[in-house]
Structure 1
Amino acid sequence: MNDLIGRLPATPELRDRCRALAVLDAILSPDDWGGRYYSFDSRWSADNALGSMRDGQGNDWFVLFSPVGVYGRSFDHEVPTALKPLGAVPEAFRGFVEELGSGDEEEPVATAFFWRTHQDAAWRGDAVDACEAGPFGLLLDPSAEAYRDWAEEYFEPEQPLDLAAIEHVLALRPLTPAVVAALNPDTDLEELAKDLAEIDFPTG
């Protein structure tokens, strides 16, 4: 197993990180869904939830949370080679491999892919040798400082982002008007209601 895959957190923590990143992006970009990096749909299809990242430059990842377990893959266009996960993952995930595939080839390709059924004691999968954290960066480093540094460069907010408010969201504490205002005084819980319902994030 590639070391990148081994650094992924356990399933519940991975899901929580995906949700928290989606909420932070929703707060900082409430009017422009297309301008967000991170999203999470708790009702993506039937019993499945989907976390995703798209940077608009050809790099992305998708993480599917299903009753069977978790399947994820990323594509980094700066990595010169790619893998074909279709024949490597369990049959239960094959349909999602095709649906969430990337690249122009007939068979889906990825620069990293992973899965974990409820019977697996650890993540399984692979990543090309040249594949660093890349698109997975904030999934592997969930610190408030890492998100703040990235978000201040990407969103260019008018004021420095409040570290305590970021930590509040990353800890999945119920979102409050004060926390939202500390990150973006130009939005509120009412404006974010649809996003929070889709992400299934608590408010209080």
Structure 2
Amino acid sequence: MNAAELAKRLPSIATVRALSRSFAVLDAILSPDGYAKYAFQSGWGDGAELASMDNGSGDEYSIVFTAVGAFIRGFDHESPMSPYGNEDYALWAGLVESVPDEFAGLLTEPAFCHEGMTEPFLAATVCLWRLNEDPAWRTGDIQFDDDGSGWMFDLLAKGTPEAYCDHARHYFEVPLAVADVRAVFEHRPLDEELVRRVNPSADLAALAGALDTIGYPYANGPA
């Protein structure tokens, strides 16, 4: 699956946002040591929210949600589409040329860039976007190679509690009850009982800071 195929599978902006928040909450519960794979910042800046994935092995993605839509950047460090394959760190032809003006500033966002020989460059092998009025997600009109979309965004594309359970079993090596994961997917407020069912060593009070950053409701949390 490449980005053009992913664009056909991804749900609406609102659903991608809700799923991203759920992934971040569950990962936070399962990794109280701070090594979560998925994260979400509800107050990223200038009214924007940021969902992110970092597998700790050089692969990452960012999804920025703004008042006008959403922008997705993914970077698979082993992809033949990686800018590291070029001496000047040039992006794959067509990857970002069609990005609308509303998201142009994100192409030079420091958080998404790596240091080149003379200046920073966007670390990207995947790029999608969707304005609120767009009927579907969009990509550049490019000749695709293996861009990493197939594995990087598989969980988002599936978007089910069962898929997250598979992720937890492989990444955290723990079994989860589908009903508990579904409760988070439905954005039910977290309580101590649910947290302990997901991770017996986790503590709701200790998670409060992370949940506030994510913007997820919890018992005795902010109204």
- 1:129/1:4 Cα in 2 relative to 1: closer, same or farther (>3 Å)? farther
CA offset digits 1:45-90 (Å, max 9, x no partner): 1201000000011111100001121111101122212436443211
Q: Is the 8 A contact 1:65 1:71 kept in 2?
A: yes
2:99 is aligned to 89
Q: Is the 8 A contact 1:115 1:124 kept in 2?
A: yes
2:112 is aligned to 101
2:136 is aligned to 122
2:218 is aligned to 203
Q: Is the 8 A contact 1:60 1:76 kept in 2?
A: yes
CA offset digits 1:84-109 (Å, max 9, x no partner): 64432111211112115355655424
Q: Determine if the alignment matches structure 1 residue 189 to structure 2 residue 189.
A: no
Computing the radius of gyration from Cα coordinates, the structure with the larger value is 2
Q: What letter is aligned with 2:207?
A: L
Distance 1:11 1:50 in 2: 13
1:164 is aligned to 179
Distance 2:76 2:96 in 1: 18
5 Å-filtered alignment, 1:1-204, equals 2-30=4-32, 32-33=33-34, 35-82=35-82, 83=92, 85-99=95-109, 100-102=111-113, 106-126=120-140, 128-131=144-147, 132-157=149-174, 160-204=175-219
Distance 1:191 1:109 in 2: 33
Q: What letter is aligned with 1:203?
A: Y
Distance 1:97 1:43 in 2: 20
Q: What letter is aligned with 1:16?
A: A
Alignment: residue pair count: 200
TM-score (norm 2): 0.82
Q: What letter is aligned with 1:67?
A: A
Percent identity of paired positions between Structure 1 and Structure 2 = 38
Q: What letter is aligned with 2:44?
A: W
Distance 2:166 2:96 in 1: 36
Question: What SS does structure 1 have at the residue aligned with 2:169?
Answer: helix
Long gaps (5+) in structure 1? none
Distance 1:192 1:86 in 2: 37
Question: What SS does structure 1 have at the residue aligned with 2:130?
Answer: strand
Q: What letter is aligned with 1:196?
A: L
Q: State the Cα RMSD in Å.
A: 2.0
Structure 1 stretch displaced more, 128-137 or 15-24: 128-137
Deviation (angstroms), 1:130: 2.1
